[in-house]
Chain A
Amino acid sequence: MRRVYLDYNATAPLLPEALEAASPYYMSVWGNASSIHRQGREARMAVDEARMQVARLIGAPNALDIVFTSGGTEAVNLAIRGYAHGSRSRGRHIITTRVEHPAVLDTCRALERCGFELTYLPVDDLGRVDPEALTRSMRPQTILLTVIHGNHEVGTLQPLAELVEVAHAHRVPVHVDAVQAVGRVPIDVLASGVDLLSLAGHKFGGPKGVGALYIRDGLGTTMQAILHGGHQERERRAGTEDVPNIVALGRACAWMSQRLADEGKRLTRLRDHLEAGVLSRISAVRPLGKGGERLPNTVNLSFAGVKGEALVFNLDLLGIAVSTGASCSSRQGVPSQVLEAMGVSQEESEGSVRFSLGWGTTDEDIERVLDVLPSTVERLRRLSPLS
């Protein structure tokens, strides 16, 4: 049975090139990058090179603006908590949106318990924040805006330039959770003026267990670290550098830097083909979040008369991996906050399935899905008391 993986927004396979680049750092150059002997120095050089590769992918002017973390969640926590606690004397108000990933939402809730005030901006039916709404929510005590670019559930891309403009006009720095956007759409932190940006290796072909936080030069001194201990990452993040994973992340970034535009086009074509194919073969299906700017690899479809979870399990039996909502939440059975914020009804939300493509997705994968999906949906509709 041909297996098809379309859950890249949950995690992606590691690029063989990235694994190859990392291999020597497992078996041959395995020193601690802080050591001064040759093993250590070689490890250090590899880390430095990876840092440059990450910087290049996101347009960071200086590799030293990149802090390696253990993943996207840590980067997001470091950005938000680190900046909030470092700036709490200036103000306690933080603005975010209602469509953030749990990493941001839960961090914001934790900050609320610590005495910070949070505003969760509403979004339109496509999941976009209105810059006007942002302007209206600004206060003298606002210290940070954190916004997701590239929604994990529906793929929505925010009007970043306008949002940054508003925030900066109020002297408020902007953190972008770009975990789903890096390696999928062009990112230029310098041109866009973004102050902090989080990314995770494993979403676009890099490894699990490593991520990065871009910190605009000058901002770092106002931030508090989360992990204290050694002097690694210029005192911003203690802990022995995970050299093989950092090298793999760097290589994945380099790989993507070379082909971002082409890969974007390729994914768009495959995704659009999947979406159009489903819409033409199956009735009563609505794509959620379609109509604005979207990640090239994501399509979230709501099937009337079907429980998304049931459809997902049935697809797994056919060797196809997809998901409902954010895989990152351990909260089972909770309706999607993102879809709710977009005005999607609970029924439509429960009938939704997310298909997310990536570097390994082929035309054959899409054909396979289009082959089996209609009959699967039809069968479930027949069995369902809902239709």
Chain B
Amino acid sequence: MERPIYMDHQTTTPIDRDVLEAMMPYLTDQFGDPSSRSHAWGWAAEEAVDRAREQVAGLIGAQPEEIFFTSGATESDNLAIKGIARAYKEQGHHIITQETEHRAILDSCRTLEQEGFTVTYLPVDRYGLVDPGAVREAITDQTILVSIMHANNEVGTIQPLAEVGAVVKARGILFHSDAVQTVGKIACNVDDLQLDLLSISAHKMYGPKGVGALYVRKTRPRRLKITPLLDGGGHERGLRSGTLNVPGIVGLGRACDIGARVWPEEGERLTRLRERFVAGVMQGLDYTYLNGHPTQRLPNNVNLSFAGVDGEALIMGMTEVACSSGSACTSTTLEPSYVLKAMGLDDALVHASIRFGLGRWTTQDEVDYTVQTVVSRVKRLREMSPQYEMLVRGIASRTGR
């Protein structure tokens, strides 16, 4: 068992050896630029990119020409939200999203608000679920885009995207999903979910960092308009200029190819491990709560609140386990997780929360060891915690929900 045990797969994943192997030729002698139309190096690069496009498309049930490569999901999210809004601003200026989206979506929306758009941030219930009925009610004749993430990176809750999609498409509005945590992990088909746009991140699915994709449905009679974020050279049919990161793209393609084959079985394996994890912790500790929906959640996500314990102190004390409190993108600040707050947790419980993300090579032994470590550390911290003492003596409120 390697130490520390990596339990932070929502933040990033190790690259699959197969993926790196696929990338190697493009990091060595196949170094051509696909835009080089005039020689064999360029053509070989173009071929590799075309193949990767097919692999990405295949995983989500799309056409290759509907896949556009970016530098990652942050860019894909920015491109989808800002790109659609700016392109359709004559038609309307209202966007609907929800409070627990990744910062890339929320901050893009905030930027658009400064440009004159209105954004509705729908609330979520205590499990982090969005209500499709609330989406329907929020739609106005100015609404041009709805963006709802497929599954939340912090608590793992899987949104009812198919139902939301039905509501959104019934009104002919464009529908985007940040599917960073679900592509290659659970069923994610753009037709089933009625999506027009979808964001993908390679490094969340055992691919390399620095590359992602945006799926854009080929609509009829007219193509979707998107105002590019990056100009210059017209790559990716003008949607995303910039010399293609061929090795990264090849890696993303291979990661999608592998994901397509392994996700059903892997999903089951991870679900079993996840349930073992949660059961083990609940057995050993009291005043401990699983955040997010109990069953409609990512197979690999465990987010727990340990009342009376400081999450950061717990993480710091558990050097044998790498995990996180809140999202990595906010981990360098002491801001309480806005996701947990949106779900109704009070600050104390938010600060007492840890997220564990299992992965493709997580073993049962690692899960058991982690459970053991967590239970003993939490107990130790609670011995010194006046809050916990008050809780047990019935003085403090239990959950603040």
Q: Does A209 interact with chain B (Cβ within 8 Å)?
A: yes
Measured in the bound complex, the distance between the Cα atoms of B35 and A332 in whole Å is 11
A37 contacts B322, C-beta separation under 8 Å: yes
Q: Does B91 interact with chain A (Cβ within 8 Å)?
A: no
A70 contacts B75, C-beta separation under 8 Å: yes
A35 contacts B245, C-beta separation under 8 Å: no
Measured in the bound complex, the distance between the Cα atoms of B246 and A217 in whole Å is 33
User: Which chain A residue has the least Cβ–Cβ distance from B331?
Assistant: A36
Which among A7, A40, A315 is the interface contact of B36 at CB below 8 angstroms?
A7
Which among A200, A226, A241, A316 is the interface contact of B39 at CB below 8 angstroms?
A316
Q: Does B11 interact with chain A (Cβ within 8 Å)?
A: yes
A74 contacts B38, C-beta separation under 8 Å: no
B329 contacts A230, C-beta separation under 8 Å: yes
A228 contacts B8, C-beta separation under 8 Å: no
* Residues of B contacting A27 in the complex (Cβ-Cβ under 8 angstroms): 14-15, 17, 20
Q: List 26 A-B contacts (CB under 8 A).
A: A10-B36, A30-B12, A31-B12, A36-B331, A71-B243, A76-B232, A77-B229, A102-B233, A103-B232, A105-B232, A208-B243, A208-B248, A226-B229, A229-B78, A229-B102, A229-B108, A230-B103, A231-B332, A238-B74, A240-B12, A240-B74, A242-B71, A323-B36, A324-B38, A327-B35, A327-B37
Q: Does A331 interact with chain B (Cβ within 8 Å)?
A: yes
Q: Does A329 interact with chain B (Cβ within 8 Å)?
A: yes
Interface positions of A from 196 to 235, Cβ below 8 Å from B:
200, 202, 207-210, 226-232
A100 CB to closest chain B CB (Å) equals 9
B33 contacts A11, C-beta separation under 8 Å: yes
B154 CB to closest chain A CB (Å) equals 14
A326 CB to closest chain B CB (Å) equals 8
Which among B4, B41, B322, B332 is the interface contact of A7 at CB below 8 angstroms?
B41
Q: Which of B204-212, B265-273, B280-288, B341-349 contacts A (4 or more CB under 8 A)?
A: B204-212
* Residues of B contacting A3 in the complex (Cβ-Cβ under 8 angstroms): 40
Q: Does B315 interact with chain A (Cβ within 8 Å)?
A: yes
User: Which chain A residue has the least Cβ–Cβ distance from B240?
Assistant: A73
* Residues of B contacting A320 in the complex (Cβ-Cβ under 8 angstroms): 39
* Residues of B contacting A231 in the complex (Cβ-Cβ under 8 angstroms): 329-330, 332-333
A34 contacts B331, C-beta separation under 8 Å: yes
Q: Known: A37-B315, A110-B231. Is A321-B39 also a contact (CB below 8 A)?
A: yes
Measured in the bound complex, the distance between the Cα atoms of B392 and A200 in whole Å is 59
Which among A35, A74, A102, A104 is the interface contact of B234 at CB below 8 angstroms?
A102
Interface positions of B from 59 to 82, Cβ below 8 Å from A:
70-72, 74-75, 77-78
Chain A residues in contact with chain B, CB under 8 A?
A: 3, 5, 7, 10-14, 19, 26-27, 30-32, 34-40, 70-74, 76-77, 101-107, 109-110, 200, 202, 207-210, 226-232, 238-245, 309, 312-313, 315-316, 319-324, 326-332
By CB atoms of chain A within 10 A, which of B32, B203, B241 has the most?
A: B241
Which among A11, A104, A323 is the interface contact of B38 at CB below 8 angstroms?
A323
Chain A residues touching B, majority SS: loop
B319 contacts A38, C-beta separation under 8 Å: yes
* Residues of A contacting B71 in the complex (Cβ-Cβ under 8 angstroms): 70-71, 74, 209, 239, 242
Measured in the bound complex, the distance between the Cα atoms of B15 and A340 in whole Å is 47
Measured in the bound complex, the distance between the Cα atoms of B15 and A30 in whole Å is 8
User: Which chain A residue has the least Cβ–Cβ distance from B43?
Assistant: A316
Which among A26, A38, A245, A327 is the interface contact of B42 at CB below 8 angstroms?
A327
A332 contacts B75, C-beta separation under 8 Å: no
Q: Does B235 interact with chain A (Cβ within 8 Å)?
A: yes
User: Which chain B residue has the least Cβ–Cβ distance from A211?
Assistant: B242
B322 contacts A39, C-beta separation under 8 Å: yes
Q: Does B323 interact with chain A (Cβ within 8 Å)?
A: yes
A30 contacts B14, C-beta separation under 8 Å: yes
* Residues of B contacting A76 in the complex (Cβ-Cβ under 8 angstroms): 232
Q: Does B136 interact with chain A (Cβ within 8 Å)?
A: no
B209 CB to closest chain A CB (Å) equals 4
A323 contacts B104, C-beta separation under 8 Å: no
Q: Does B29 interact with chain A (Cβ within 8 Å)?
A: yes
Q: Does B397 interact with chain A (Cβ within 8 Å)?
A: no
A11 CB to closest chain B CB (Å) equals 4
A101 contacts B232, C-beta separation under 8 Å: yes
* Residues of B contacting A210 in the complex (Cβ-Cβ under 8 angstroms): 210, 245
* Residues of B contacting A104 in the complex (Cβ-Cβ under 8 angstroms): 232
